[in-house]
Amino acid sequence: MTARRFLLVTQDELVVWLAGHRRLAATVRFPSSDEGFRQFSAYIKRTASQPSCMVVDVIEEEFAADTVPKLASRDRKALIERRLSRKFSRTPYRIGLYQGRSSRNSDEYELLLCSVSNHELLDPWLRTVASYKVPLEGIYSVPLLAPALLSRITEPALNSLFLTQHQHTRLRQVFLRDGVLKSARLSQSPETNDADYGEFLLNEIQRSRRYLERTRILSSVDSLDVYFVADKDLADRVLASDRGNAALQLHFIEPLRAAKSLGNFQAPAADRMESLYLASILARRPKYDYAVQGERRYSQLSKVRHAYLALATSVAVACAAFASFYLVDALYLRDASDGIESQIRRMAETFRRDNESFLPIRADSHEMKVAVDTGDYILQNRLPVPWVLHQLGNVLGDFPAIQVDDLEWQTDFVQSASRETPRARPGDPPPPVTIPRIAAVSADMRGRIFEFDGDLRAAFAQVDDLVAALKAQTAFETVVAVEYPLDARPQAALSGEVASGGSERMARFRLRMTMNVVPPESRRETW
């Protein structure tokens, strides 16, 4: 349970109990009057965000035994709801407890119908709680909490009557058979320090037994075990008034023992044992709830909000964990890179020192002249390929439908007069390296026209426009269309069929471009 505040509704008032460390305390009381409702509204307005649950401990709570035939789960629930609406038609606070196979008839199942018959005891308090959107976790009944409470304190007998003193002057009696609730009542009583309290308690036990026998819940030959939560002084006074009854067994439970069995709580006062029921709610969430649909919606919304916050916190923690992992990895990589850089510096320094220890390389004049002439020739006869490609890109920018698939370069060399190299004589220096001179550079460009619609004339004109633009805007002296958009494949149905079939819708063509290499001194350096 997340709720640590209990709104205990009694016959005359509402008492706010707060759960602290090992203790439960009644903090404030509001009488069942107009003034009390106003005070409760002001209190709830200040503490509306605190999760709460309502506990009902009133005289006007009715219990009726019934039986239902063996049915499927859905049909059984519908039948129980009809029985409840017929039996308690004037109150929405009703529950049907399905209690298993009947001991009298194996084809029937026992049912206990419970309700708070006077809904006006709860409505004013619940309206105030709903108006301020208090997260209300449930509306629980003290008699419905008794089976779980008694089973935590002790192991009850077959027929058990559980007695606790409530609200100073109320005696709560709950009858259980085999640990299952069968009947309950709340009666007026004197204070526990009254001299006649023992006699009153024994008379109430006899009155409850006669009622159970009259309603055929208990037979006259059955023994009844009475469990009464009382301290030693009160137990002695009750035993002093006992006249002896073989069918009646009295068992006294120390309040401190009962409190410890519920989570080591502080022992309650002798006349305020309702705190034991509140402690049992903290120990385990009750199974049965009087709350109708909609009264717990703000509690559910609060739980969803807290779940989202917990999820966000978990995600943040996971992200922080991943971030720390990657941070460690980054620090490791930084250290590794620093080590590599240090190693590079050491290797560079080692190379420098070792290089200085070698003698310089000597070369004769002929070798140096060959190296210098070769470098000069490469520098003087370099081709303006980047510039040409740049110009080609500018031209193709005006033809968005054309795409270049392939561009191949070819070099034509100047034919030398004599192809024979004279044979060197012994002792002569080696002849110079013969480097051929470049006469011209040719380029074959293969491309395609996308979204070709079959108009051959328009395709030819587009290719011709591209040829004219290349002649005008590039350094190529000649530009020739070698192949126009035709399909001359052997497998084509007709030679010259336009290649626009299939899903490609394109026409292919090929251009050849030639640029003559001019002497370096007459070439304009524009790249």
* Residue 500 phi, psi (nearest 5): -120, 5
Q: Do 191 and 214 contact (CB within 8 A), yes or no?
A: no
Task: For 451-480, write each residue's pLDDT tens digit.
Answer: 777 788 888 999 999 999 988 888 788 999
Q: What is the pLDDT of residue 351?
A: 87
- Alpha carbon dihedral 69, 75, 78, 84, in 10-degree steps, equals 10
The token duo for 435 is: 């480097």
**What is the secondary structure of 317-382 as a DSSP string?**
HHHHHHHHHHHHHHHHHHHHHHHHHHHHHHHHHHHHHHHHHSPPP---HHHHHHHHHHHHHHHHT-
The token duo for 52 is: 């709460």
Regions of the chain where pLDDT drops below 50: 488-489, 491-503, 520-527
CATH of domain 140-295: 3.30.420
Q: What residues does CATH 3.30.420 cover in the chain? A: 140-295
Helix, strand, coil abundance in the chain, percent, nearest 5: 40, 25, 35
The whole model's pTM is what? 0.58
Distances (CA, A) of 77 to 92, 106, 111, 187: 16, 19, 11, 33
Q: What residues does CATH 3.30.980 cover in the chain? A: 383-417+432-522
Name 243's Cβ contacts closer than 8 Å, sequence gap at least 6: 202
Q: What is the pLDDT of residue 401?
A: 86
**What is the secondary structure of 204-220 as a DSSP string?**
HHHHHHHHHHHTTSS-T
Given CATH 2.40.10, say whether it is the number of domain 383-417+432-522: no
In this structure, the strands spanning 478-483 and 180-188 are unpaired
H-helix or E-strand spanning residue 177: strand 170-177
Q: What is the pLDDT of residue 248?
A: 82
Q: What is the pLDDT of residue 430?
A: 63
Q: What is the pLDDT of residue 493?
A: 41
Kindly give the interhelix angle for 274-283 and 142-153, rounded to the nearest 10 degrees. Answer: 80
